[in-house]
């Protein structure tokens, strides 16, 4: 096998991995407005911004004051992470998990297509129903489908076991902003206070959600 050679250096750029990492977080702290967030959630916010490249994301973040301790306690006790999308699950860094926690996405379960047809909903929403035996004390993450977040909230309102924390950052133009408002207003509407983090508006996605999970899994940056 031919040994690869480095191409001729033609651009001026930083190529030291640790330096890029450190300088990125320093830039975020310098440019983002973080004062309105819970003090214990600063590193969470910084990682979410790092995952999107958008410092103004901080203005849309809504972080329950109990989110960070609730999620960290659950993960240190071995709780699973339940994800609505494979890309979210794939973005979780295994080395950061405190107890080798299971990271599960049930979208590929054979039961999902039939449930989606029967209920007239998306596969993402149907897959969330399969979380029920695992929900109690889990950390759940919705980073793709607004229907999945709505479905989860409806399950919880109907009496499903309560997760320890919800990372609710679905992305999109139809239902994303509305599902996040429903998450933020769940305690007022249903009387059940579940710690959560969300990014209001249309922004969201797998990278943002996985970044949040990685921050919750381990405090160190």
User: Which residue numbers are catalytic?
Assistant: 50
Best CA proximity match to 81, nearest among 146, 163, 153, 155: 163
Q: What is the DSSP letter of 143?
A: -
Beta bridge partners of 62: 198
Helix ranges (H only) for the chain are 17-31, 42-52, 67-76, 86-90, 112-119, 123-129, 146-157, 176-184, 186-190, 206-217
Distance CA 144, CA 98 (A): 25
- Whole-angstrom Cα distance, residue 39 to residue 49? 16
Using N-to-C axis directions, what is the helix angle for 206-217 and 67-76, rounded to 10°?
Answer: 70
Residues 6+ apart with CB under 8 A from 172: 145, 146, 202, 204
Strand partners, 83: 105, 141
């Amino acid at each position: 096998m031919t040994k690869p050679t480095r191409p001729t250096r033609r651009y001026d750029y930083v190529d030291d991995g640790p330096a890029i990492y450190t300088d990125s977080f320093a830039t975020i702290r310098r440019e983002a407005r973080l004062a309105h967030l819970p003090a214990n959630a600063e590193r969470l916010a910084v990682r979410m911004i790092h995952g999107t490249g958008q410092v103004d994301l901080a203005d849309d973040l809504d972080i329950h004051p109990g989110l960070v301790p609730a999620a960290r306690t659950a993960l240190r006790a071995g709780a699973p992470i339940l994800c609505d999308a494979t890309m979210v699950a794939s973005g979780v860094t295994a080395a950061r998990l405190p107890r080798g926690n299971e990271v599960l996405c049930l979208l590929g379960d054979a039961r999902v297509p039939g449930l989606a047809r029967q209920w007239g909903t998306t596969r993402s929403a149907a897959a969330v129903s399969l979380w029920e035996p695992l929900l109690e004390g889990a950390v759940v993450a919705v980073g793709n489908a607004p229907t999945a977040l709505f479905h989860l909230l409806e399950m919880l309102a109907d009496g499903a076991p309560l997760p320890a924390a919800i990372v609710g950052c679905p992305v999109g133009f139809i239902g994303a902003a509305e599902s996040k408002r429903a998450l933020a207003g769940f305690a007022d509407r249903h009387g059940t206070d579940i710690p959560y983090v969300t990014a209001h508006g249309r922004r969201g996605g797998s990278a943002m959600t996985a970044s949040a999970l990685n921050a919750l899994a381990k405090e160190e940056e």
